[in-house]
Amino acid sequence: MIANGEIPSNKIYEDESVIAFLDINPTSYGHTLVVPKEHCDSFLDCPDETRNHVFEVASKLANKLEQTLHCDGINILSNVHEAAGQSVNHFHVHLIPRYKDNDHVTIEFHEIEKPDFEELMNKLK
């Protein structure tokens, strides 16, 4: 496991509860993973304190990536469950620098039929 040092990684940050390292299969230059050392399957079942700290670290590193790599933008995301693209059952956040001139990352949104917003809002309140 990377978080406890069993598997080597290209670590760029570590504290008592979080580690961040360069993705071994990057989708862009500087693609970084921010991972809690404590195991939780996904964003949804991670304790608030741990999840909040992961995002604090992600925010600091995203700023550092932007300043250092001069990227044009950054995607910050966490996939939850297999249907959303989660391939590792351990909560982690992707920091994916984006570059206008060399962008191989695609995130496509396709519009669906408009729902009954009133009904949907009532379900979600």
Give domain status of residue 3, yes or no: no
Look at residue 83 in the predicted model and tell me its pLDDT: 84
Mean pLDDT of 107-122: 83
- Report the CATH number that the domain containing residue 78 is assigned in CATH: 3.30.428.10
Give domain status of residue 105, yes or no: yes
Q: Are the C-beta atoms of residues 20 and 32 closer than 8 Å to each other?
A: yes
Catalytic (active site) residue 53: no
Select the more confidently predicted residue: 117 or 3.
117
Give domain status of residue 2, yes or no: no
Mean pLDDT of 80-89: 86
Q: Which domain holds residue 69?
A: 11-124
For the four alpha carbons of 54, 102, 25 and 70, in that order, the dihedral sign comes to negative
Give domain status of residue 40, yes or no: yes
Catalytic pick among 53, 92, 94, 104: 92
Condensed to tens digits (0 to 9), the pLDDT of residues 85-98 reads 888 889 999 999 99
Q: For the chain, how long is the longest CA-to-CA vector?
A: 51
List phi, psi (to 5°) of 63: -65, -40
| Whole-angstrom distance, CA of residue 70 vs CA of residue 35 | 24
Give domain status of residue 75, yes or no: yes
Give domain status of residue 4, yes or no: no
Number of structural domains, the chain?
Answer: 1
